[in-house]
């Protein structure tokens, strides 16, 4: 978990009066009765959205997958993720440090653990039904490192990328162009 704190909770210096609202997050109300989003969407309740989580070692994300949507491979450097599939079905997978791939098809009501720091993804393979999951994290700020974005959208030298992926610079540029224009 996150480092232990020496008080019941931590109050940012800009917060003057603490009451129950400091511990309340209403940002998920937008989900009630709403239609599925047009593309994969994450709604987080973590340190940035709910500052009272500082030092508490917990947070949530709500993941919405319209039919055919993917959450691309990524890692969380500071926490495992326990996903609870509330609606629909979901293809999930992660890769361990021996490069072994673990995949599963989750049904409504199932849970799945993505171990801390490992590359993982989710995909709603259904042609018409959306899926929704809630993920819990053992950190108030688990962090997300996207594999496509960290590798291809940060300005790493294209020759280095071409060498690393055993391809040519034109292929690297085509991947970068696709990431820049397609949702
Ligand atoms: C899903 O894996 C997420 O962390 O958003
Ligand atoms: Mn994740």
Structure ipTM:
0.92
Closest ligand to residue 60's CA: 1
Q: Give the whole-angstrom CA distance, residue 41 versus residue 102.
A: 24
| Tokens standing for residue 164 | 């690393």
Which ranges of the chain have pLDDT less than 70?
182-183
Q: Is 81 in the pocket of ligand 1 (CB under 6 A)?
A: yes
Residue labelled with tokens 């991947």: 175
Q: Is 142 in the pocket of ligand 1 (CB under 6 A)?
A: no
Task: Note the pLDDT tens digit of each residue in 9-62.
Answer: 999 999 999 999 999 999 999 999 999 999 999 999 999 999 999 999 999 999
- 147 CA distance to ligand 1 middle (Å): 13
């Amino acid at each position: 978990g996150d480092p232990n704190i020496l008080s019941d909770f931590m109050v940012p210096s800009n917060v003057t009066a603490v009451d129950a609202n400091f511990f309340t997050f209403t940002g998920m109300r937008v989900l009630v009765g709403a239609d599925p989003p047009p593309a994969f969407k994450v709604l987080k309740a973590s340190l940035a959205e709910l500052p009272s989580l500082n030092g508490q070692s917990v947070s949530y994300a709500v993941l919405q997958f319209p039919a055919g949507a993917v959450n691309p491979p990524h890692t969380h450097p500071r926490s495992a993720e326990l996903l609870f599939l509330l609606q629909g079905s979901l293809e999930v997978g992660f890769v361990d440090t021996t490069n072994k791939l673990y995949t599963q098809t989750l049904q409504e009501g199932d849970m799945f653990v993505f171990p801390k720091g490992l590359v993982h993804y989710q995909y709603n393979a259904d042609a018409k039904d959306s899926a929704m999951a809630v993920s819990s994290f053992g950190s108030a700020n688990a962090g997300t490192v996207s594999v496509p974005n960290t590798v291809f959208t940060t300005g790493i030298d294209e020759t280095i990328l071409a060498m690393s992926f055993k391809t040519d610079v034109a292929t690297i540029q085509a991947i970068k162009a696709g990431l820049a224009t397609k949702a």
